[in-house]
Amino acid sequence: MDLIGFCIALGVCLLLKSLGHLPNVTTRVVDYNERIPFLRQLNTTSQTDIFIGMHGAGLTHLLFLPDWAAIFEIYNCGDPGCYSDLARLRGVKYFTWPEEKIHLIRSDEEGKHPQSGEKHLKFANYHVDPIEFREQVKSMVDHVRAHPKFINSRRAQRRKQAEMEAEKQKKEL
């Protein structure tokens, strides 16, 4: 299972470490910036089962996720409907930090809009509780692994691998 974190938060290493013991889960941190060609971004996203990020335009990549995928908007920065609506329209499962545990997300300073200088949640750097983060990701992993399209995709991959192996053995004879 592939999991991508996009612009996760401060303490990325700590969050990745918290996921280290999830069985059969591969994690990658990807920074989709102007140096990464858009087609490469699409290719990476289309092979991702779980896409994780803070509120921001990068989450629009959810449009290119597989049908079984899930998106985790760690913190919606006061804009709760934006990416949940987009995920619903795309047909992928949307997760966000539980409201009752919002105290486990903190910022060191107030965010300020880069042009106006006004206070704004979307421009702060956040620290996320790694234990709760792991619990949220585990729920997402369970969701993806139980999705019928994910199961069928993995079966098809195994069949194709077996066919390729059988073909290879035939050639060796």
Six token digits for residue 169:
């053995």
The domain that contains 106 carries what CATH number? 3.40.50
Q: What is the full per-residue pLDDT of the chain (173 aa) written as tens digits? A: 555 444 444 567 778 888 888 888 888 888 888 999 999 999 999 999 999 988 777 899 999 999 999 999 988 877 778 899 999 999 999 999 888 888 887 777 777 667 887 776 677 777 888 889 999 999 999 999 999 999 999 999 999 999 999 888 888 87
Could you tell me if residue 163 is inside a domain? no
Could you tell me if residue 167 is inside a domain? no
Report how many domains make up the chain. 1
Could you tell me if residue 11 is inside a domain? yes
**Cβ-contact 22, 15 below 8 angstroms:** no
Could you tell me if residue 173 is inside a domain? no
The pLDDT assigned to 76 comes to 81
Give pTM, 2 decimals. Answer: 0.81
Q: How many CB atoms are closer than 10 A to CB 149?
A: 12
Could you tell me if residue 152 is inside a domain? no
Q: Which domain holds residue 142?
A: 2-146
The pLDDT assigned to 7 comes to 43
Could you tell me if residue 165 is inside a domain? no
The pLDDT assigned to 120 comes to 66
The C-alpha atoms of residue 79 and residue 81 are separated, in whole angstroms, by 6
